[in-house]
Amino acid sequence: MELNGYTQLEKIAEGGMAIVYRAIQTSLNRPVAIKILKSALQNEKHAQEMFAREAQIVAQLDHPNIIRVIDRGTTENASPWFAMDYVEGTTLSQAIKTGRLDTAQRLRISIQVAKALAYAHRNNIIHRDIKPGNILISSDGNVRVVDFGIALISENTELANHNAPNEAGLTVGTPSYMAPEQRQGASHATPASDVYSLGVVMHLMSTGSLPKPDSPPPNEINPSVPKALSELILLCIAQDPAQRPSAEELTSLLLRTIKGRHLTEREIKDARATFPDPKDQFRLLDVLRETPMGAVFLFENRADRKLIVVKKVVGETGFKEASWMAKQRHPHLVRVLGASRNERIFIIVMEWLSEGSLQNRIAQPMELTQFLPLAIQLSDAMAFAHKEGIVHGNLRPSNVLFLKSQQIRISDFGVIHAEPDRAESDNTKPCPYSLKDEPPSEAGDIFSAGVLFYQMITGGPPLWRKGLLAPKKIFHEQPQALQTLIKSMIFREIEIRTIRFDEVLSRLRALSADISNAPPLL
């Protein structure tokens, strides 16, 4: 087997529809996993549709606990393929068989899969085949959910009807992990069906067996399972989908239930060193992110059970802005509760916003009615900051947080690259939200916001050809006033990017009013 741009192909797995190879990507000299449709299925329309949809779905998802598609093409004999990150490790299925998982590892796996599902569900994607064989565990304990080949996409998304196979009368998934409603037919699956499947996986990890109708609670099968966790597992595998928590709720419930027992000694030590708590008023629940430039921790106040976020940032960049934010109460700025520093790091203590970030919601294009309120709020916050002489300098999806489904707050003013979005970690692509060699400025914030706006309405960042914007078809379908506004915000030449957020805000409000007053379509 030969593939242009890849060498040393070695077969590592085979399923009914595809073969997976380990290979070396020659341009970066890094290992990748390449999934190739079996040649015998080249003329099978249903197999081709499922394979193409999997590549399209995963390519649009960007989450640390979901495998990432990095390339795609066809072989010399016309078999389609796509390349993914290679995970050096094992599957959860293999780990369960060998009995190598301790309590902390089982909890870490459960939380990471719940986070992956919450992200997918926010982007209207239902996996429909969560099982141990589709959960990869890297050598450092990080989880990747794989195999979106039978995923269901909601009808409100761009991919919903693209290459969608007819599933009338079909049942898809793995029976042992399938929710009752999913057994009635593939189209009956909902996000709650994925939660059921994860509940079955959690039951298997906790007890060594799959749940049966007459099974006792997990904590009675295995006394080392905390009662609260046992009850949560039973909640996930409730027969009635309405009784199950959402994946987002499950993540929060898991964190509150296990109270940091999934964390390593190193993570706990680092968190305590960052946020000394001599009176033991706060309980460490999770490490949300770690990078060479800092870390983000989630704590719970033991008295009132309110959650706070503690960010550690290496260096001084952003401390002035954090101190400024601590004095503000703007409706679209994150509440900073305090900031302090020493000669090496500074920390920011801020409110916890449980609805996630914009990064979790832009795998698919937004409807205009969803986009405009968010764009107006972002522009309002940025106009206020600029009037106060504060530049953000790092505006990107992960810094736009949700208080409610349609209410946002901006965070991390001045914190440059402390928390890069996952796409930026791939050094084959430049950061789309800023221009190389352009220092932080008001004009730079305008460019970043313009890229965000473009991504929100098209499902991906802008592409450039010879320095000129190459708009997606969906961009041309937007109102002309919005196209003109976004283009004026993403001029690559700073000299002609003169628009300010006051004007952006005014034009967005005018567009929103025009749409609200437009007659209904007949």
Q: Is 270 a catalytic residue?
A: no
Taking the C-alpha atoms of residue 94 and residue 81, their distance in angstroms, rounded to an integer, is 26
**Identity of residue 371:** F
- Which entry of 62, 71, 129, 147 is annotated as an active-site residue? 129
**Identity of residue 64:** P
Taking the C-alpha atoms of residue 212 and residue 144, their distance in angstroms, rounded to an integer, is 27
| Residues 6+ positions from 450 with CB-CB distance below 8 Å | 486, 488, 489, 490
Q: How many residues are there in the chain?
A: 522
Taking the C-alpha atoms of residue 522 and residue 519, their distance in angstroms, rounded to an integer, is 9
Is residue 43 within 8 Å of 51, Cβ to Cβ? no
H or E element: which one contains 408? strand 407-410
Is residue 490 within 8 Å of 447, Cβ to Cβ? yes
Q: Hey, what are 387's tokens?
A: 């009037």
Q: Hey, what are 40's tokens?
A: 């015998």
* Chain-centroid distance, C-alpha 41: 32
- Give per-residue burial for 226-265: e unless 16+ CB within 10 Å, then b: beebbebbbbbbbeebeebbbbbebbbbbbebbebebbee
CA-based angle 385:386:387, to the nearest 5?
90
Residue 296, SS3 per DSSP: strand
Taking the C-alpha atoms of residue 386 and residue 460, their distance in angstroms, rounded to an integer, is 27
* Residues belonging to the active site: 129
